[in-house]
């Protein structure tokens, strides 16, 4: 499995070290969010890594809905459980971290799943600043730079067919709805086989602690992010 360097597998259980999760974020998703740094106080495993492992071990279905219930910490032993509630990622105590609803045709094509996963997580990893900042500017809001609260809530995939020879992912628009100090971002995308659209998807994020947009403050956050990315990429 192409993900073997990014998780530890023991029988039906799997877990992630800080180093593995951080490498996936930076090397595969091109995501330099400090919450995925090995020395982060509020460290968490990228949701996209959990998504990647789910597809690699359970296959791709024509319709899939992922709901993220809690953040995964390092070295937590997880397993997949299939029940009335669908497929779930749980720990030994039964705590649910992610739920997946699946329907329609399915595929175990490892090459297709890897290509789809790499395309999606690279797109997803660029949510900040490429997608979020223009939305904030348009709605005249922003998160608190000192305590950024951006939560990966859910993701939806829908395919017309799974016999895809040349899978490509393309952006399909994004939106931000604001209610008080909370906001919800929806990021849409399409899957193509050559020039033909064969699937669609949507990623949902929840923003908390919203305040009035401040161009200078946002520019400072973006500059800091870009500087970190350049420095860490060179290491």
Q: What is the pLDDT of residue 145?
A: 86
Q: What is the pTM of this model?
A: 0.93
Which domains can be identified in the chain, with CATH numbers?
4-234 (2.40.160)
Residue 173 Rama label (left phi>0; alpha psi -120 to 50; beta): left
Asked if 228 contacts 235 with a C-beta cutoff of 8 angstroms, the reply is no
DSSP assignment string, 111-144: HHHHHHHHHHHHHHTTIIIIIHHHHHHHHTEE--
Location of structure tokens 């401040």: 214
Q: What is the pLDDT of residue 232?
A: 85
Using CA atoms, how far apart are residues 215 and 234, in angstroms rounded to an integer?
29
* Helices 110-124 & 47-58 angle (0-180, nearest 10): 170
Q: Tell me the mean pLDDT per 10 residues along the chain, length 235.
A: 94 97 95 90 94 97 97 97 94 97 97 96 91 96 89 96 96 97 97 97 96 95 89 82
Q: Judging by beta carbons within 10 Å of its beta carbon (0-12, 13-18, 19+), is residue 25 exposed, middle or buried?
A: buried
Q: What is the pLDDT of residue 85?
A: 85
- Could you read off the pLDDT of 182-212 as tens digits, one per residue? 999 999 999 999 999 999 999 999 999 999 9
Q: What is the pLDDT of residue 233?
A: 84
Pairing of strands 78-83, 167-179: unpaired
Q: What is the pLDDT of residue 206?
A: 96
Q: What is the pLDDT of residue 214?
A: 96
| H-run or E-run covering 230 | helix 215-234
Q: What residues are paired with 101 via a beta bridge?
A: 65
What are phi and psi for residue 62, nearest 5 degrees?
-65, -40
Q: What is the pLDDT of residue 234?
A: 77
């Amino acid at each position: 499995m192409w993900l073997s360097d990014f998780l530890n597998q023991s029988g039906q259980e799997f877990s992630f070290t800080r180093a593995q999760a951080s490498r996936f974020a930076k090397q595969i998703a091109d995501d330099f969010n400090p919450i995925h740094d090995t020395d982060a106080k509020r460290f968490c495993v990228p949701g996209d890594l959990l998504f990647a492992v789910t597809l690699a071990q359970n296959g791709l279905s024509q319709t899939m809905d992922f709901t993220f219930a809690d953040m995964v910490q390092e070295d937590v032993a997880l397993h997949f459980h299939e029940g009335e509630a669908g497929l779930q990622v749980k720990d030994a105590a039964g705590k649910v971290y992610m739920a997946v609803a699946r329907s329609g045709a399915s595929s175990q094509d490892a090459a297709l799943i890897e290509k789809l996963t790499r395309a999606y997580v690279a797109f997803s990893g660029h949510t900040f600043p490429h997608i979020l900042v223009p939305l904030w500017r348009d709605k005249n809001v922003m998160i608190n730079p000192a305590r950024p609260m951006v939560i990966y809530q859910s993701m939806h995939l829908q395919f017309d067919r799974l016999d895809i020879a040349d899978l490509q992912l393309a952006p399909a628009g994004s939106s931000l709805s604001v209610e008080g100090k909370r906001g919800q971002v929806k990021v849409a995308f399409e899957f193509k086989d050559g020039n033909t659209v064969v699937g669609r998807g949507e990623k949902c994020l929840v923003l908390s602690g919203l305040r009035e947009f401040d161009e200078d403050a946002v520019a400072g956050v973006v500059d800091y992010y870009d500087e970190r990315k350049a420095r860490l990429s060179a290491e």
